[in-house]
Amino acid sequence: MRRLLPSVLASLIATTSLGAQSFYDTSVRLAPSFYSYDIKTPFNEKVTEMAFPLYALVPILPNFSVDIGTAFAMAKVENANTGSSSEMSGLTDTQLRANYTFGQDLVVLTAGVNLPTGSATVDPSELEAATRIGSDFLTFPISGFGSGLGFTGGVAIARPVGNWNLGFGASVRQSGEYEPFRDEGGTATKFQPGPEYRARVGLDHPYGSGRMSFGLTYSKFGDDKANAATFNSGDRFITEFAMSNALTERVDYSLVVWDLYRASGTLINGTPSGSGNLTNGLMYFSVRSGSMSVEPSIETRLWTQQGSSTSYLGTFGIRMFVDRGAYAIVPGFGFTMGSMEAATLTGYRATLGVRLGGAR
């Protein structure tokens, strides 16, 4: 049972590795990608993003590892109605995190810092681009360039309970004040995010040659402050279900479904804000042949908000995984169709994942 417990902890705190490792297991991962969406009438917009994420995991000691990640991105929105465009580019913030595992008890402590290496301030000419890539609905690899200095601390615990593995995690995030917007006159808005308190429980159980898991996450947000105004974005509830198994000796399948419910918050004038719900389902197959596999997939997304039309996406994708031990290459492509706020849309994405060192 203990061999399955790390999967519970990984889902609790998103750590990449919990097993005993050494410095020689260091891995570097990069994933250049291009995403494009054409949003039809009445918006008549084309939204594109080119992103170059870079991530490194360094096991310092068998029970202590450090990971660091950042990205360079370019985003652009072209509006056919007005003939105008909005674009932004640059380095994003850098996330630095340390994980420490206590012996065989599978208790993991995590400490992280968000280093403000990206620009947290959006100028008027960049506002439309920043708004589109920051959408909860559209799936861009980089949703924002900067959010100021921030600190996160967390703990996760997983234990066997009969034939199941039960895990629990909790974390607190506190961010410093930053300036998210500067108007045409050069006046900046000062924004102080409220603290975020997050708790998560997860269950994991063997299922055939794979596993089945369930997760529930609750995020409580404190009040945000913009200049002299106070408001709240609303709490979040995330439920997750994942299942994987083998169809044949060389064919596996995986199903992942999650739902994010955002409760009503408060606007600057004190009135309640609308609630919203985002549901996502992904089904993919892995057809293996030696060190290579081909993985076709289908993904759906449904977004509902109070006072807005229902939006939905359907994405057909395929990727190839070539694992050569010391490195791996994962090219992929996807095509999307759907509707956003009553406007039809189409899109495509192309990615190239590369791993150097470490293991899959």
* Coil/strand/helix, residue 105: coil
In one-letter notation, the amino acid at residue 165 is N
Q: Which residues contact 183 (CB under 8 A, 6 or more apart)?
A: 124
268, pLDDT greater than 70: yes
Band (22; pLDDT cuts 50, 70, 90): low
Contact criterion met (CB below 8 Å) for 110 and 96: no
Joined tokens for residue 54? 């870079």
Answering whether pTM is above 0.85, one says yes
Average pLDDT for the chain: 91
103, pLDDT greater than 90: no
Region 105-123: what's the mean pLDDT?
93
Contact criterion met (CB below 8 Å) for 112 and 95: yes
DSSP E strands in 247-291: the ranges are 251-262, 276-289
Band (274; pLDDT cuts 50, 70, 90): confident
Number of C-beta neighbours around residue 186 at 10 A: 7
Q: Tell me: the pLDDT tens digits for 308-356? A: 889 999 999 999 999 998 999 999 999 999 999 889 999 999 999 999 9
DSSP one-letter string for 211-242: EEEEEEEEEEE--EEETTEEEB---EEEEEEE
Contact criterion met (CB below 8 Å) for 231 and 269: no
Domains of the chain: 5-357 (2.40.160)
Contact criterion met (CB below 8 Å) for 168 and 203: no
Cα-Cα-Cα-Cα torsion 32, 174, 261, 281, nearest 10 degrees, comes to 20
In one-letter notation, the amino acid at residue 307 is G
Band (9; pLDDT cuts 50, 70, 90): very low
Cα-Cα-Cα-Cα torsion 50, 142, 148, 45, nearest 10 degrees, comes to 80
Category of 125 on φ-ψ map: left (φ > 0), alpha (ψ -120 to 50) or beta: alpha
Q: So what's the pLDDT on residue 165? A: 92
Q: Tell me: the pLDDT tens digits for 161-189? A: 988 999 999 999 999 999 999 999 989 99
